[in-house]
Chains A and B, each alone.
Chain A
Amino acid sequence: MATPMVRAEAVHKRFGLLEVLKGITLDVAPREVMCLLGPSGSGKSTFLRCINHLEKINSGRLYVDGSLVGYEERGGRLHELHEREVCRRRTEIGMVFQRFNLFPHMTALENVVSAPVIVKKEPRAVVTTRARGLLDRVGLSSKVDAYPNQLSGGQQQRVAIARALAMEPKLMLFDEPTSALDPELVGEVLDVMRALAEDGMTMIVVTHEIGFAREVGDSLVFMDEGVVVEAGLPRDVIANPQHERTKAFLSKVF
């Protein structure tokens, strides 16, 4: 079997005395779309942020594409990675945020172009061509010169997806990408994500969109209070939840 894109083994994360993740163990295969569901405060977003080392885990092991996140194992001990290496690995993981976090002083095109030029030192002309292609792919070829505050939430989120894709990542993390959007704008973002999944991108999606999880997700993980309560095929979990907490949550979301 191929190396999993993400492997978590008993991942624990504490903030002070508050234990947010209490032993998460899961695998995400290449090309898999995994949807993370759960009430707020259940640790879904924290787990996502651990995967690209925005948060450090306290115990357990977390691997992306076979290598440890944030550390290196030498002589039976863990050594912290240099900032340079942490950043290089982050370039391989795209992240999309609930609040978009576009750079407001740059146009849509500049947002998409910035990271490959600044981080990977790619020639601007090459990146610009690619960025226009990406903006076209997310349906925003007419908005390349608009500043983020001239765009609707849905448009901003699509630019944010294009910005992450410009780094040509092998894994995409979505942290509640549609939660800050007006209901009528949710569809356009989900459509882009669906197309991305069909192209074979490995994705972990923290979401409350049950419909998306059922139609696009290959697997569904329900988390609560820092543990995985239930996991399986989305269709099965949604239609036939086994745990009380999953049942209670799903009945509220529908």
Chain B
Amino acid sequence: MINGGEGHRPEEIRAVPLRHPGRWAVTAILLVLAAMFVHDVITNPRFGWGVVGNYFLAPEIISGVERTLELTFFAMAVGVILGVVFAVMRLSPNPIVSGAAWLYIWFFRGTPVYVQLLFWYVISALQPNISLGIPFGPEFVHMSVNSIVTPFVAALLGLGLNEGAYYAEIVRAGILSVDHGQFEAAQSLGMRRSPLMRRIVLPQAMRVIVPPTGNETISMLKTTSLAVVVTYPELMYQTVNIAARTYETIPLYIMASFWYLLLSTILTIGQYYVERYYARGSSFALPPTPIQRLRRNFTTLRRVPFSPNASGGV
């Protein structure tokens, strides 16, 4: 018998819910472990919570935080620019160009960033002077490398060049994710390679590129702490300095960790909104932001009655 669903509707199912004793056991174990941890954190004086609080907003630390953010921003900027350039080069039909990009990625991805930083720090021992001019011909401008490669520049080069190698692979994956039909459509409209990349392919590749970019930025935020080795006074350098002076090592490391956690949390939130922006045109309706969800929870006080379309719900 077939009918169109008209007429009698059977009563709603009210079954006895399944019991989950395992969940209760695991919850109990986790609660005990959490209580033990909190107890230790509160009663163990060696955490030095007072010291953590005292130094959290100290001028040296604040200036270190500012430099950490500065270095993160500029090193990522260098990395992103180099990454896009090398990704496009890697996909070039010219084998020399794509080979050069491959070599760059191979070298900078294959050596530790720590070693690269050290290298830039002592670069003047390898190359004391640089000059601008015609290769193997007359030179116009002379400069000593020591005066150019300050700790900031050394950190920027080390972190930026390394990031560029990783980022090139991320961008390349993004470009390869774009449907081949998009290239053809743009070509058939008479677009040349450069506008085709900038206006059609890269904006679509962004949907694939942005999530790992957030990852890379957060990773970069923490990797800047390696700039200690080139004596760039960012957050970790200042922390280590104060610790060497005051011997309050543990509380100061905790303090620095809190700063990194705070900053990466802010970046995570930023990443969420950037991803939403680049997801436009890819799904019918974007999920609500936490603020929108909160507002909705406050405005719809009554429970929405059951309807087959409103599946799940928050």
How many Å lie between the Cα of A159 and that of B283 in the bound state?
19
Q: Which single member of A97, A118, A164 contacts B184 (CB below 8 Å)?
A: A97
Whether B281 contacts A106 by the Cβ 8 Å rule is yes
Whether B181 contacts A99 by the Cβ 8 Å rule is yes
How many Å lie between the Cα of A83 and that of B280 in the bound state?
32
Whether A88 contacts B190 by the Cβ 8 Å rule is yes
Given A54-B184, A104-B281, A149-B284, CB of A90 within 8 Å of CB of B190 = yes
B195: CB under 8 A from chain A?
A: yes
Q: Which single member of A88, A91, A103 contacts B185 (CB below 8 Å)?
A: A103
Whether A97 contacts B190 by the Cβ 8 Å rule is no
B203: CB under 8 A from chain A?
A: yes
Whether B284 contacts A93 by the Cβ 8 Å rule is no
CB within 8 Å: A-B pair count:
74
Whether A83 contacts B185 by the Cβ 8 Å rule is no
How many Å lie between the Cα of A119 and that of B198 in the bound state?
13
Whether B204 contacts A105 by the Cβ 8 Å rule is yes
Q: Which single member of B179, B189, B281 contacts A164 (CB below 8 Å)?
A: B189
How many Å lie between the Cα of A170 and that of B191 in the bound state?
17
Whether A91 contacts B189 by the Cβ 8 Å rule is yes
- Which B residues touch A160, using CB under 8 A? 185
How many Å lie between the Cα of A54 and that of B185 in the bound state?
10
Whether A105 contacts B189 by the Cβ 8 Å rule is no
Number of chain A residues whose Cβ lies closer than 8 Å to a Cβ of chain B: 33
The binding surface of chain A is classed by DSSP as mixed
A52: CB under 8 A from chain B?
A: yes
Q: How far is the CB of A226 from chain B (nearest CB, A)?
A: 21
Q: How far is the CB of A165 from chain B (nearest CB, A)?
A: 11
A58: CB under 8 A from chain B?
A: no
Given A104-B204, A114-B199, A147-B280, CB of A90 within 8 Å of CB of B188 = yes
B-contacting residues, A85-122, CB 8 Å? 87-91, 93-95, 97, 99, 101-106, 114-115, 118-120
Whether B190 contacts A91 by the Cβ 8 Å rule is yes
A150: CB under 8 A from chain B?
A: yes
Residues of B within 8 A of A (CB): 179, 181-182, 184-193, 195, 199-200, 203-204, 280-284
22 interchain pairs (CB within 8 A)? Answer: A54-B188, A83-B193, A84-B192, A87-B191, A89-B190, A90-B190, A95-B188, A97-B181, A99-B181, A103-B182, A103-B204, A105-B280, A106-B281, A114-B189, A115-B189, A118-B191, A119-B189, A119-B190, A119-B195, A149-B281, A164-B188, A167-B190
